[in-house]
Every structure is written in C-alpha cells, then in structure tokens.
Amino acid sequence: MFVTDSRDGNHNVILETVTDGGARYAMAQQYIPEIVDSGDKRIMLIDGDPVEKALVRIPPEGDHRGNLSTGARAEVRPLTDRDVWICRQIGPVLRERGLLFAGFDVIGDYMTELNVTSPTGIRELVQATDLRVAERLFDVIESRLSA
C-alpha cells in the first residue's frame, strides 16, 4: 500500500513497480484522511444483515495502514447511521447472490473494500464483545441446509 500524488518524485516509479511496467492491473483509491483518527472499520454481514458492532483498526502513529499485522490497534464500536445505510444498500444484493458471509471496510463515510472470500475480524470482534458471530453464521447455514 502506497500513498502518493502527482507531486511525489516517486509517483511514476511506484506506478511502474506495482503494475510491473503496465503488465498488471493495480487498484488505486483516493486517500481518505479519516484513516488516521477514525481508522478502518470492518463491518460484517451475515445473510445480508449487519453484525451490530464493527471492528475498527486504528493505524499506529506515523503510518496510514489499518492492518492489525502492521501494528494497528483494534477497537470495537457500534455502527453509525452511515454504516447502517451502507449495509442497507449492499446487504440485499449479497443475500440475492447467495453470499452468506461478507465483510466490508469503511473509512470516513466511504466503503472502500468488500471481502467475500475470507473476511477477517471475527476472532477480534468476539474476543472484545459478547457477540456470537460464528454461531449466527452457522445458524444461517444450517437453516439453508434444512430448507
């Protein structure tokens, strides 16, 4: 993950490196400064319905990455009105497509990523709360299998 802009003397070499000279795709997004103070929220959906709390990853001082593996601090917070609004937009679509478990990330007011193959954060969320995320997921799976 790189932070750069057109005034950065390394801008072109960063783009060349991450795209292997234009041979590979790269994903870019506008820098969202709220990452520094508000962190990167992981919100989980089970059968399109949100888990009531989010795992928030706050970057360490001097870093912009909210990855726990790079030293970010984890906090648990209730969903905001904006988070719930985003859930209402994507939850029904995920349910229609048969995605029983997904996690998405929010920085500031923006959804930045949708994880459908291996959303992480259950362990940290469960350790910090009384939420039974895995149990809820398996209840949904069981209800689908018995239907």
What element of type H or E holds 112? strand 110-115
CA nearest 118: which of 133, 102, 106?
102
Instruction: Say how far apart CA 39 and CA 22 lie, in whole Å.
Output: 31
With 0-12 / 13-18 / 19 or more C-beta atoms within 10 angstroms meaning exposed / middle / buried, residue 68 is middle
Q: For residue range 40-73, what is the model confidence (pLDDT) as tens digits?
A: 999 999 999 999 999 999 998 888 888 888 888 9
% of the chain with per-residue pLDDT over 70: 100
For residue 66, give both structure tokens. Answer: 């909210």
Domains of the chain from N-terminus onward: 1-30 (no CATH), 32-146 (3.30.470.20)
- Judged by DSSP in three states, 94 sits in helix
State mean pLDDT over 70-80. Answer: 91
